Amino acid sequence: MQSIYLDNAATTPLKKEVVDIMTETHMNNFGNPSSTHQYGRKAKALLESARKNIAKYLHCDPSEIYFTGGGTEADNLILFNSVRNLGVKRIITSLIEHHAVLHTIDRLVFSDHIEVCYVKLLEDGSPNLQDLENLLTDGKPTLVSLMWVNNEIGNTIDLKQLALLCKKYGAYFHSDTVQGIGHLPLNLKETGVHFIAASAHKFHGPKGVGFAYIQKGIPIQAHLIGGEQERAVRAGTENLPGILGMEKALQLATENLESDMFKLKELKSYFIEELRNNFKNIQFNGTSAAIDISAPHILNVRFPKSIPMLLFQLDLKGIAASGGSACQSGSNKGSHVLQNVLNEQEQKKTSVRFSFSTLNTKEEIDCLIMILKELIKD
């Protein structure tokens, strides 16, 4: 049976270079970066070199990078710090954010009694910027939290445009960039965003490691209590093999970004064309089929009818895809993103998210189309 992995928005396979450097670190650079002897000093030097290089790839200062256990922790760190340390009284977000943001905001509403406003969405799921500006005009101490790339429908926002709008009204701007880092170019110095969150396993790095970017000059208090690691913001011995693996993965993604984007757009365009040629009334959710404005690696397909157990049937054929975020795989509620983008009739149809990496090929797409034709009858 063929095996075709098309769920890269959930996680990506490790690249060999990443595995190699992590193995080398486990074997030969196992020292604790907080130790003062030669093993610890060497580990500390590698840690800070990784921080410096990650900052270089994203065009920011190394002091603005805080290593975390992943994107969810980074989002938590930023949101809790904004409310409890920066005086934020209101968070403006959208109903199609990742649950790392939405559920954290729910907790802050409960524990800190903050106000939350949900910006209106356009028909394609993009935030209504006029509505956002209307919300900002009252001058309340506000954090705007809108994700750069939607992990289910591939919509993107203009970070610089949003940052300028927030600056105009004195609001902080946070973006969960987990699904965009390594897939789209990002210059943090030019963009002006105050906070971002990133996770290594979305760009062929290891799971369980990520980072928060916090713009220089913004005060921050301890998130995990304990030792003095990460400048006393995030206690706990640093995951040096994971951090060095993340550094290598981001280096490879940055060096190959232009060619990788071209290949992914070409692959997605080919898949869209084949779907339209072989299935009547096929539709696409969000802006995912708009090649020039959506994430190059995500396509959310809405078939003309309900197809029971399609994901299960694809899995039996060796095809890995998803109905939405992997974080909701144990839920029977369905995709909260599609519930807020599609009308009730459209929600009854079967939608599948296919997400690619540069390891995928047109031959795999051909195989997928053949299997879909077997499973979906007019």
- For residue range 228-268, what is the model confidence (pLDDT) as tens digits? 999 999 999 999 999 999 999 999 999 999 999 999 999 99
Among 3.90.228.20, 3.30.750.24, 3.40.718.10, 3.90.1150.10, name the CATH number for the domain at 4-12+257-375.
3.90.1150.10
In three-state form (DSSP H/G/I as H, E/B as E, the rest C), the secondary structure along the chain is CCCEECECCCCCCCCHHHHHHHHHHHHHCCCCCCCCCHHHHHHHHHHHHHHHHHHHHHCCCHHHEEEECCHHHHHHHHHHHHHHHCCCCEEEECCCCCHHHHHHHHHHHHHHCCEEEECCECCCCCECHHHHHHHHCCCCCEEEECCCECCCCCEECCHHHHHHHHHHCCCEEEEECCCCECCECCCHHHHCCCEEEEEHHHCCCCCCCEEEEECCCCCCCCCECCCCHHHHCECCCCCHHHHHHHHHHHHHHHHCHHHHHHHHHHHHHHHHHHHHHHCCCCEECCCCCCCCCECCCEEEEECCCCCCCHHHHHHHCCEECECCCHHHCCCCCCCHHHHHHCCHHHHCCCEEEEECCCCCCHHHHHHHHHHHHHHCCC
Residues with catalytic annotation? 327
Query: Where exactly are the structural domains of the chain?
Result: 4-12+257-375, 16-255
- d(CA 56, CA 74) in angstroms, rounded, equals 19
Q: Residue 2's pLDDT is what?
A: 82
Nearest of 245, 296, 241 to residue 267 by alpha carbon: 296
pLDDT for position 223: 87
- The answer to whether 136 and 165 have CB atoms below 8 angstroms apart is yes
Instruction: Give pLDDT, residue 327.
Output: 58
pLDDT under 70: residue ranges of the chain: 1, 325-332, 378
Q: State residue 358's pLDDT score.
A: 97
pLDDT score at 378: 65
CA distance 29 to 299: 41
What does the block give as tokens for 117? 């406003």
Q: Determine the residue type at 9.
A: A
The per-residue pLDDT for 127 is 98
pLDDT at 169: 98
Domain 16-255 has CATH 3.40.50.1970: no
Q: What is the pTM of this model?
A: 0.96
The tokens for 313 are: 């049937």
| Phi–psi pair at 301, nearest 5 degrees | -100, 130
Q: Which amino acid is at 50?
A: A
